[in-house]
Amino acid sequence: MNGKRTTYQHGNLPAALAEAVIELVGERGVRGFSLAEAARRSGVSNSAPYRHFADKDALLVAVATQAYAEFGALIAAAKRKQRDPRAQLRAMVRAYVNYASSDRARFEILFNSGLDKSRYPALERAGDEALGTLVDTVAELVPESPERIAEAALAFRACAHGFAMLTIDGSLSHRGLAPRAIVDAAARAVLRLADSFAGNPARARTRPL
């Protein structure tokens, strides 16, 4: 891609660099680019990004912070379409797994970049806010102690994330599972967990994966 991006021509170099990073991650993986390469793709000199970002990780943090906001909005929108907490949980998990396959580059930036969130408070807050909707729903399904709610939220997220990773790395493709089937399986698996945490193992066994 040659020439300056429209966003940079309008004076928004950080946005142009973010766009370049997303393109490069989509092509080469989350660690398959350099700040200099993002600059070249944005049509600026290698030194230009340093006016805004100290290094490559700082640029990744900026992209990830924005991506968390978008990811959180998708999760919240999925919840708003349902009224029952179990249906809300199912919808949120479906949105989680769908996001991985529909926007793989941003998903990898969020979860596979190796960024230490404790070093970047804004990124850590963005991540907490994005997944806060899930925790709130868990509290309705598991109305016990805060420790029990935290344990359930971790289990639900781990289940959803596992299915998301299996979707994007192709681990399930050899079984002939279409993306829709994987999303459906993720939703059923999380509902099983929900029933188990709610003390309803009989219901949890009613549908096979």
Burial 11-30 (b: 16+ CB within 10 A, else e): eebbbbbbbbbbebbbeeeb
- 2 falls in which pLDDT band (50, 70, 90)? very low
pLDDT at 29 over 60: yes
In the DSSP assignment, the letter for residue 51 is G
Identity of residue 139: A
pLDDT of the residue at 173 = 62
- For residue range 109-129, list pLDDT tens digits in order: 999 998 888 899 999 999 999
- pLDDT of 1 reads 41
- Contact 159/186 with Cβ under 8 angstroms? yes
Mean pLDDT of 58-73: 95
Return contacts of 79-86, CB within 8 angstroms, 24+ apart: 79/133, 79/137, 85/137, 85/140, 85/141, 86/141, 86/191, 86/194
Q: What is the pTM of this model?
A: 0.83
- Concatenated DSSP letters for 115-144? --GGG-HHHHHHHHHHHHHHHHHHHHHS-S
Q: How far apart are the first and last CA of the chain?
A: 45
Sequential DSSP letters for 140-183: HHS-S-HHHHHHHHHHHHHHHHHHHHHHHTTTTGGGT--HHHHH
The predicted structure's pLDDT at residue 175: 63
pLDDT tens column, 180-195: 888 999 999 999 998 8
